Amino acid sequence: MRIPYDEMKRELARVLKKHGIEAGRAERSAALFADASRDGIYSHGLNRFPVFVRAIAAGDVNVHAEASFEETIGVMERWNGNRGIGNLNACAAMERAVALAKEHGIGVVGLKNNNHWMRPGNYGLMAAEAGCIGILWTNTLPLMPPWGGRDARLGNNPIVFAVPNGDEPVLLDIAMSMFAYGKLETYARQGKELPLDGGYDSKQNLTRDASQILHTKQALPMGYWKGSGLALMLDLVAAAVSGGHTTREVGEYPRETAVSQVFIAIDVEGLPNREAYLEQVKATLADLQTSTPREAGKPPTYPGQHMMAVRRENMANGIPVEESIWNKIKAM
């Protein structure tokens, strides 16, 4: 079934207000959930909303807390999320990184003690729309074994790169596991097989069964040892920049909370070669697409290439939703 964007946003805001969130903040948080689904990232939009509400009910999210400034270190600032609403704290951090970039050319914000930020691509788009390159990542609770191990010790630590490109920014939004956990949950709920091996089952065999991977918490790192190593480095840098927890420490909580995040903005509009650079971006993307397709009728694509087309379709025809999830939210 399809739901109009405004109706989705209104319904989500209604639920958040019922949970004690001030109206303006509830509406902005709801819009970020709806924006994710609008752009086709259903696993971290509407589908993630019931999980967020459960986190509020469990006391993991302080609905009244806001991110607070702690200290300045050069062009870098440290902020404390105070275990508040993850997507609102992330918005505030990205806005501050952009403001610093407009002043210094580059801005870096470390955010500790935040909750799940939902779809991180939202904040990369914020940077791109402000004429900045955005680079941001988070650590998570242990969700993935290190290469050569069986027990989850690493987060799958999603990272985003966003580059301005007119109305169609280049947007890479990826976890360090072959499939993000939100995507695994979607496949498991729908009883569908993953298109590629995504992790290990209880017998230590590679599997495409998402429910088995969710059970073992043995997601396969993307690029095998490369994804494992990158996940570790992102975790260590996030803790250093923010002054917050590592994945090991996040894992000591009963549920995921108090994660560490980094937001970097680089002001493209302030570059002396701005116009030439933006032309380089367009020329690079055009050249990429001249590569001979591996499969007839399926030309190469770049990250985020089809996002705006999905957004236009969903705004025109309504956003696809799983009926069971929509009904659950309507009943909240």
List the catalytic residues: 44
Cβ count within 10 A of residue 201: 16
For 80, residues 6+ apart whose C-beta sits below 8 A from its C-beta are: 67, 68, 70, 111, 112, 113
Q: What are the tokens at 181?
A: 């956990």
Q: What is the 3-state secondary structure (H, E, C) of 76-125?
A: EEEEECCCCCHHHHHHHHHHHHHHHHHHHCEEEEEEEEECCCCCCHHHHH
CA angle 236, 228, 75 (to 5 degrees): 30
What is the sign, positive or negative, of the torsion defined by CA atoms of 24, 30, 33, 36?
negative
Which H or E run includes 164?
none
* CA–CA dist 182, 309 (Å, integer): 23
| Cα 222 from Cα 265, distance rounded (Å) | 26
Beta carbons of 154 and 146 less than 8 angstroms apart: yes
Q: Long-range CB contacts (< 8 A, 24+ apart) of 194-202? A: 200/150
